[in-house]
Amino acid sequence: MISEIIVVEGKEDTVAVRRAVGADTIETGGSAIDEGVLRRIELAYERRGVIVFTDPDVPGEKIRKIIAERVPGCKHAFLTRDEARGRDGLGVEHASPEAIRGALARVRTAEAPETAAAEAEIAWSDLIDAGLIVHAEAAGRRERMGELLGIGYANGKQFHKRCVMFRITRAEFAEALERLESEGETT
């Protein structure tokens, strides 16, 4: 049983999570999160901790951002787009129990923005040097680096923000970049 409460988008996500692990969930009901749900998430964070586990798409990222701003310090779990792809869409509800367990095993804790920025190891120039921004293959490279680092896919600005927020170290970054390069990704 996972001690933290997992925040998901809907009922089908709850079913998929419970099929994979023993856990309690809070459902946001989509990206228009009402005040009552946010208060329940705050209480859950104070009492047991929270893992935000949303779909790897634009609405899922919007939900993640809303929760992270309201409840700093939450943990985050990410599925890759391939892991979350189903016949009729993209989402946690389509992921296999193994993929869900893997995402929850790689959970990351977000630091408060002021703390994270003060201790950031990855600079914007590191993303440029790694071909993760301002590069013809940047989107694909960021997607794979997000998988390797366990921080999910994001555009360049959000990717940098996640590197800072999740305190990605230079060693972690270098190891993931080396693996990306060894897989034959173009630079």
Please tell me whether residues 20 and 99 are part of one structural domain: yes
Average model confidence (pLDDT) across the chain = 91
Using the Cα atoms of residue 4, residue 20, residue 31 and residue 27 in order, give the sign of their dihedral. Answer: negative
Please tell me whether residues 123 and 88 are part of one structural domain: no
Which pair of structure tokens corresponds to residue 30?
Answer: 């989509």
Q: How far is CA 49 from CA 24, 43, 71, in A?
A: 11, 9, 10
Please tell me whether residues 73 and 128 are part of one structural domain: no
Please tell me whether residues 80 and 126 are part of one structural domain: no
| Domain endpoint, select from 58, 75, 110 | 110
Residue by residue, DSSP assigns 126-162 as: HHHHTTSSSSTTHHHHHHHHHHHHTS----HHHHHHH
Residue 141 β-bridge partners:
none
Residues in the chain: 187
Give me the pLDDT at residue 117, please: 55
Report the distance separating Cα 104 and Cα 75, nearest Å.
10
Please tell me whether residues 41 and 133 are part of one structural domain: no
Question: Strand (E) positions, the chain?
Answer: 5-8, 24-27, 50-52, 75-76, 85-86, 89-90, 108-109
CATH of the domain at 68: 3.40.1360.10
Residues of the chain with pLDDT under 50: 185-187
Which pair of structure tokens corresponds to residue 77?
Answer: 């779990």
Please tell me whether residues 99 and 11 are part of one structural domain: yes
Give me the pLDDT at residue 186, please: 46
Report the distance separating Cα 149 and Cα 152, nearest Å.
8
Residue 90 phi, psi dihedral angles, 5° rounding: -125, 125
The predicted-structure confidence for 86-133, as pLDDT tens digits, reads as follows 998 899 999 999 999 999 999 998 776 555 555 678 999 999 999 999
Quote the domain boundaries for residue 98. Answer: 1-110
**Which region, left, alpha or beta, applies to residue 84 given φ > 0 means left and ψ of -120 to 50 means alpha?**
alpha
| Cβ-based neighbours of 153, under 8 Å, separated by 6 or more | 56, 80, 81, 142, 143, 146, 147
Q: What total number of domains does the chain contain?
A: 2
